[in-house]
């Protein structure tokens, strides 16, 4: 960062620019319809349409929230994640956790209000959370990676409190995104170094075999 400035976090800068662009476009005449068609996900949409729109839905800010908050969150959290986790892992976590929230809403609408974790039909027409689910998920993964347990616990506690205090789709999607992020972080912790160790063992075995053959020859 000291040497390259914002050029060292191109993913975070690009994501911030896309959010700003979508925010401007959706407030132009006819712009909201265009944004809805390319980047807004709702549970009532066909699954293939939702999957196609989900990558861009990460960058569509909510209409009822100030866009500067989304810009600041994405630039800061995506930037730290890009440095700490790497660009590929950042994209993986952001997309997987957003997709988990989207599928959770879809399943809840299918279950209906009479079942546990079910939603009434009108919830299917509510827009997904946008970048916020990815932001909280990345914050937890960063905290896990850097062993910042207090920060990670504070993020989880705040999101759970929000879901309890304001029981809506966005709050529940945040909790689902957090659970997915914890699962990804724990899986990486357990299996992250497994395959490198296996490959190192294979290389060592090949070296020993090669040396033995040379001595025999």
**pLDDT value of position 168:** 81
Residues 6+ away with beta carbon under 8 Å from 62: 70, 127, 129, 130, 132, 170
If we measure between CA atoms, which residue out of 92, 132, 133, 126 comes closest to residue 108? 126
The per-residue pLDDT for 195 is 54
Position 75 scores a pLDDT of 92
pTM: 0.83
Domain 5-216 has CATH 1.20.1540.10: yes
CA pair distance 14, 187, nearest whole angstrom: 28
First to last CA, the chain: 55
- What's the confidence (pLDDT) of residue 193? 57
| Pair 37, 118: CB distance under 8 Å | no
Burial of 85 (0-12, 13-18, 19+ CB in 10 A): buried
**Average pLDDT for runs of 10 along the chain of length 217:** 80 92 88 87 87 88 80 92 91 92 87 79 82 92 93 93 85 90 87 62 77 77
DSSP state at residue 152: H
- Domain positions in the chain are 5-216
């Amino acid at each position: 960062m000291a040497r390259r400035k914002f050029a060292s976090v191109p993913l975070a800068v690009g994501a911030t620019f896309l959010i700003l662009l979508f925010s401007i476009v959706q407030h132009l005449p006819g712009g909201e319809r265009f944004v809805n068609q390319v980047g807004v996900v709702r549970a009532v949409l066909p699954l293939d349409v939702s999957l196609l729109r989900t990558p861009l839905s990460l960058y569509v800010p909510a209409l009822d929230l100030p866009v500067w908050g989304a810009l600041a969150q994405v630039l800061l959290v995506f930037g730290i994640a890009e440095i700490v986790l790497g660009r590929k892992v950042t994209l993986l976590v952001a997309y997987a956790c957003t997709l988990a929230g989207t599928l959770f809403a879809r399943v809840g609408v299918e279950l209906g209000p009479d079942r546990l974790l079910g939603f009434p039909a009108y919830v299917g027409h509510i827009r997904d959370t946008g970048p916020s689910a990815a932001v909280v998920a990345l914050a937890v993964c960063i905290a896990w990676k850097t062993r910042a347990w207090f920060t990670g616990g504070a993020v989880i506690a705040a999101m759970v409190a929000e879901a309890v205090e304001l029981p809506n789709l966005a709050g529940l999607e945040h909790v689902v995104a957090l659970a997915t992020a914890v699962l990804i972080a724990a899986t990486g912790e357990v299996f992250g170094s497994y395959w490198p160790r296996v490959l190192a063992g294979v290389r060592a075995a090949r070296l020993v075999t090669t040396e033995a053959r040379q001595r025999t020859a």
